[in-house]
Structure 1
């Protein structure tokens, strides 16, 4: 069965502070985080990559990674644009903020025709999650709902940054299925306790709890749901037209509430790392160096 890796790389990366953070060099030969993600996905069995980018970074993106990767796996590009809204809708005057990860995946509707996994461009997820999500998709396991999805469940304490707070989807599950995911900002650990911007979540969340890192497994019918849902979202943005976003965790949680989806949690103990802040860059570079020294990756990733 063909499977596709969808990489959301249109983020502006304002918190990184130096250039386009998704294209920061992390490996010994200039590899970026996406190189390792694609390598892991290909190893797990994925045979196509769809990059969701902005049109204005297309040239640099292709020179840094796209032209190299297409020698090893099928590649397609789609472009996320704030002006790409359904007929009958318009962008609120003055809005510059993109519409979010839900619209990003929706941009790939015309090129994603197979089961797929979606990831963030600037997150390193480890090998285990790709293998588990790929195997879940090709098993064609149908859960007891209209839509079937999978989610990589990461241990919260394995996903924190030493350089500032992070946003995570805090998860509650039952019998291996996701029951709720709460998009939570301002997360950090102090003295073994998790602090965050949501007092209700802070009251019960623990370092060992599972979180979503925006690594979802789905089938093409989920994109059809996103298409309809985006229209409903745009019809209800009057309370915050400048900043409200159509976000995957919130979308999935809404589907859970209406019982239209069941999401299998596929737990991974791999340690996340990424470049939320510019201070993270050196730590990520050192982490890849350690993984290469341990033999997890070859020093020359693609042997070009």
Structure 2
């Protein structure tokens, strides 16, 4: 392992409430030996050359995670926590929100913002409750080392990311020549009358079956935090008083792409396409299917 690889940090977004799932998905044992998705991701990251993880959590998860991870981390691999707190917002907009009325975190962009004091270099960013496969972490590590100034993502074909039990939210991507051109958050995507449909900008529209989507499998460097701060500020001004509003990482990436149109200092968002299936649980009914798929994939490994 070279010196650059040793500096890579994995940020794991693990503060979600799992409201549709009905519990803390990040603690659900879904692997062939009852491992959580979080444990499987840490194992994959270590294989790819990551030596540190930062888990963004709610405070009440710390004790359960301590028990879960005790004696399970590879030697030399460090894992730290940071808390996603509702009042940790850009100072200029704290007066726009009524925290007493807020019951859920502010979304994935805010979750990564919570880690800004603990991550100062290249980072991969994933969800705690998703399975990405070993190759996704290898692609992230290779991409971050190859081009330290660019951002990147590992994209998944949308048909590999759906649930049979209800609609899902995905960041749909436009990619040209291996570069991300556009990413937009679509809601409630599901099969309907032999085609995929989802809601974008308040309207239900069709989606091509081979579309690439973001599954929160990103590579960034520390300059993302300035972009998040600007996006969070705009978001809080526009939507901060809506109790269920969320600011998503694809919106932050889209803001970076828009900056490229007006700046001489352009930064690419490089795209690698996943080589393995993604697995995740959105609804309780998804759990048994995911368990079976992970058993088939990993039991003999």
**TM-score normalised by structure 2 residue count:** 0.88
* Runs of 4+ deviating beyond 6 Å: none
The CA RMSD measured in Å over matched residues stands at 2.1
Q: Out of 32, 41, 48, which is 2:45 matched to?
A: 41
Matches within 5 A, 1:59-98: 59-65=63-69, 68-69=72-73, 71=75, 73-88=77-92, 89-90=94-95, 91-92=97-98, 93-98=100-105
Provide the residue aligned with 1:274 in structure 2: 280
Please give the alpha-carbon distance, in whole angstroms, between the structure 2 residues aligned to 1:57 and 1:187.
30
Please give the alpha-carbon distance, in whole angstroms, between the structure 2 residues aligned to 1:110 and 1:66.
25
Check the 8 A contact 1:51/1:77 in 2, yes or no: yes
Please give the alpha-carbon distance, in whole angstroms, between the structure 1 residues aligned to 2:267 and 2:250.
13
Provide the residue aligned with 1:23 in structure 2: 27
Provide the residue aligned with 1:202 in structure 2: 205
Please give the alpha-carbon distance, in whole angstroms, between the structure 1 residues aligned to 2:175 and 2:136.
17
Provide the residue aligned with 2:263 in structure 1: none
Please give the alpha-carbon distance, in whole angstroms, between the structure 2 residues aligned to 1:269 and 1:129.
7
Please give the alpha-carbon distance, in whole angstroms, between the structure 2 residues aligned to 1:66 and 1:226.
33
Matches within 5 A, 1:113-152: 113-140=120-147, 142=149, 148-152=150-154
Q: Out of 213, 216, 222, which is 2:215 matched to?
A: 213
Matches within 5 A, 1:111-260: 111-140=118-147, 142=149, 148-190=150-192, 192-198=194-200, 202-203=205-206, 205-237=207-239, 241-259=242-260
Provide the residue aligned with 2:113 in structure 1: 106
Provide the residue aligned with 1:302 in structure 2: none
CA distances 1:31-86 after superposition (whole Å, capped 9, x unpaired): 11111111111111111111000001211122123653375611111000112223
Check the 8 A contact 1:155/1:269 in 2, yes or no: no
Please give the alpha-carbon distance, in whole angstroms, between the structure 1 residues aligned to 2:221 and 2:66.
27
CA pair 71-59 structure 1, distance change in 2 beyond 3 A: farther
Check the 8 A contact 1:192/1:207 in 2, yes or no: no
Please give the alpha-carbon distance, in whole angstroms, between the structure 2 residues aligned to 1:43 and 1:284.
22
Check the 8 A contact 2:54/2:115 in 1, yes or no: yes
Please give the alpha-carbon distance, in whole angstroms, between the structure 1 residues aligned to 2:26 and 2:59.
15
The alpha carbon displacement at 1:265 in A equals 0.9
Is residue 2:8 matched to residue 1:7? no
Please give the alpha-carbon distance, in whole angstroms, between the structure 1 residues aligned to 2:130 and 2:14.
10
Provide the residue aligned with 1:301 in structure 2: none
Which consecutive residues of structure 2, in runs of 5 or more, have no partner in the other structure? Answer: 261-265
The alpha carbon displacement at 1:16 in A equals 1.0
Is residue 2:291 matched to residue 1:285? yes
Give the secondary-structure state (helix, strand or coil) at the position aligned to 1:197: strand
The alpha carbon displacement at 1:274 in A equals 0.8
The alpha carbon displacement at 1:138 in A equals 0.7
Which consecutive residues of structure 1, in runs of 5 or more, have no partner in the other structure? Answer: 143-147, 298-304
User: Between Structure 1 and Structure 2, how many residues are aligned?
Assistant: 287
